[in-house]
């Protein structure tokens, strides 16, 4: 996250593992798993991870 004053803060790191299948010729999510490398996630975040 970078604020207007230029200060940058990393509030989360990790990755998503998505399983996508073709249904009727269109890709669809079967599952989405979030794996966080951060031990504490700010509970006051406005934007979802």
Contact between 20 and 49 under an 8 Å Cβ cutoff? The reply is no
pLDDT reported for residue 28: 96
pLDDT reported for residue 39: 67
pLDDT reported for residue 9: 79
pLDDT tier for residue 5 given thresholds of 50, 70 and 90: very high
pTM of the model: 0.50
- Positive/negative CA dihedral, 38, 41, 42, 44: positive
If one compares 12 and 30, the residue with the highest pLDDT of the two is 30
pLDDT tier for residue 48 given thresholds of 50, 70 and 90: low
Within 10 A of 16 (CB to CB), how many other CB atoms are there?
9
The H or E element containing residue 22 is strand 14-23
CA 13-9-31 angle, 5° bins: 25
């Amino acid at each position: 996250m970078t604020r207007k004053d230029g200060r940058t803060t990393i509030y989360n790191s990790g990755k998503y593992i998505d399983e996508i299948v073709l249904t009727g010729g269109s890709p669809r999510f079967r599952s989405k798993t979030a794996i966080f490398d951060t031990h504490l996630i700010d509970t006051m975040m406005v934007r979802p991870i």
